[in-house]
Chains A and B, each alone.
Chain A
Amino acid sequence: MEHHNLEQIFQDKIDQEIKIEPRDWMPDAYRKTNLRQISQHAHSEIVGMLPEGNWISRAPSLKRKAILLAKVQDEAGHGLYLYAAAETLGQSREQMIEDLHSGRAKYSSIFNYPTLTWADMGAIGWLVDGAAIMNQVMLTRTSYGPYARAMVRICKEESFHQRQGFEILLVLSKGSDAQKAMCQDAINRWWWPALMMFGPRDGESTNSDMSMKWKIKRKSNDELRQQFVDMIAEQVKLLNMTLPDEKLRWNENKKHYDFGEINWDEFWQVVKGNGPCNKERLAARKKAWEEGRWVREAASAYAAKQKQKQQAA
């Protein structure tokens, strides 16, 4: 079959909302884009455990500790579902981990910000998981089958993440003056980085948009960001807190909230590795990988020995 023909069959499937599966023919660029996106997503889940892991031992009650532990464990599972989806595209797990450790592969910049107070656990659940969910709900309909199925599973687990975060803030918002101040401070620090999670503005690209044509993505960065702002601007009222943006106001004509400009310098600085915690995060991942080496080797040795015994018997 001609290459051109294969590409037509591929696009026809996409247009008819038929999922692409690992052994189906696909254009190289489709494979590459999915691989990059899915592995970045996987790395984000894994590195994303670090800022919250910071507070597991310091959670204010046993209940909060158990909840946070369960959430962080979920994120590890999300990382695994996504690594498995990426592996179906022909990339080995070792290669992906190597790419993360060498700084070649990226993860969401949001995880390069520090978690300074307990209220940050609330702000992360509400704003960071909230922003991620927006994207992930869209991705349950992505065209690559294994990615879409991983997203369905992840979305089922995510909703408690956002709710527990909001509840942490709700409790603080009804507490002492110091607790209220802590709540507002966390919102102030996480708001703009959360908006940056949706990526650069749509106008920044002049090239044709294959990601949409191939239905890897179905909504643009700015669409998702606007949806998020509209949602959070309402929810923050229930906390009696404010978002740190003087330009934020309801626009009756557009039926959306207007909001101020994101600091794109900061965004690119953090992406390029100069955020407050980039080095710390990668160092923590590498340390965990190195210190786990003997466990991986011991498990392999044990499995080999068992196999030998079985064959001898």
Chain B
Amino acid sequence: MQLIRKFYYGDIPEDASGAAKAGPVQPASDWPLWEVFIRSKQGLEHKHVGSLHAADATMAIENARDVYTRRSEGISIWVVESHHIKTSAPEAAAELYEPAQDKIYRHPTFYDLPDEIKHM
């Protein structure tokens, strides 16, 4: 396959930019990655909004406030270290979700009722 060579805004290719070669990298800091969930208003659920690095939970919440609620987007914040989150495998999507697709009788529209019937 051909490599991408077109130069786009915000995408200056390395060979055209006189860039230095990759240098050695400092060992990663011990600040873990946290996922941030925010409740936008009372009565609604917390929703995932993004992630950030922080040394501990207190700092993660403080940073989340500064980064994700500068325009009163939330009234409550949850943070959880990313490595605690387990996810379903994308390859398993077929086995996991397909069985639901042939059970159309789980939807109210499956039932054929007379138009005259009210409040149902």
Contacts and interface: CB of A to CB of B under 8 A. Distances in A.
Contact of A205 (B7, B24, B55, B87): B7
Nearest to B12: A106
Contacts of A105: 19
A304 B56 CA distance: 9
B81 to A, nearest CB: 12
A135 interface: yes
A116 B29 CA distance: 37
B109 interface: no
Nearest to B2: A208
Contact of A211 (B4, B27, B59, B87): B4
Contact of A207 (B6, B10, B12): B6
B76 interface: no
B6 A104 contact: no
A163 to B, nearest CB: 15
Contact of B11 (A29, A36, A296): A36
| Chain A interface main SS type | helix
Contacts, number: 138
Contacts of B1: 27, 29, 210
A102 interface: yes
B20 A102 contact: yes
| Chain B interface main SS type | loop
B10 A99 contact: no
A299 B28 contact: no
B107 interface: no
Contact of B19 (A70, A104, A208, A303): A104
Interface in B8-66: 8-14, 16-31, 33, 50-53, 55-56, 59, 66
A209 B6 contact: yes
Contacts of B67: 77, 80-81
Interface string A77-111: 10011001001000011110011001111101000
A286 interface: no
Contact of A296 (B17, B25, B29, B51): B29
Contacts of B87: 23
A32 B13 CA distance: 11
Nearest to B31: A300
Nearest to A273: B18
Contacts of A102: 20, 22-23
Interface stretch (A59-67, A167-175, A194-202, A244-252): A194-202
A37 B14 CA distance: 11
Given A94-B29, A302-B55, A29 B20 contact: no
B57 to A, nearest CB: 9
Contacts of B55: 299-300, 302-303
A4 to B, nearest CB: 11
For the complex of A and B, the 5 pairs showing the least CB-CB separation, nearest first, are A303-B55, A303-B56, A299-B55, A272-B18, A207-B5
7 contacts: A84-B52, A104-B22, A210-B4, A217-B8, A221-B9, A303-B56, A307-B56
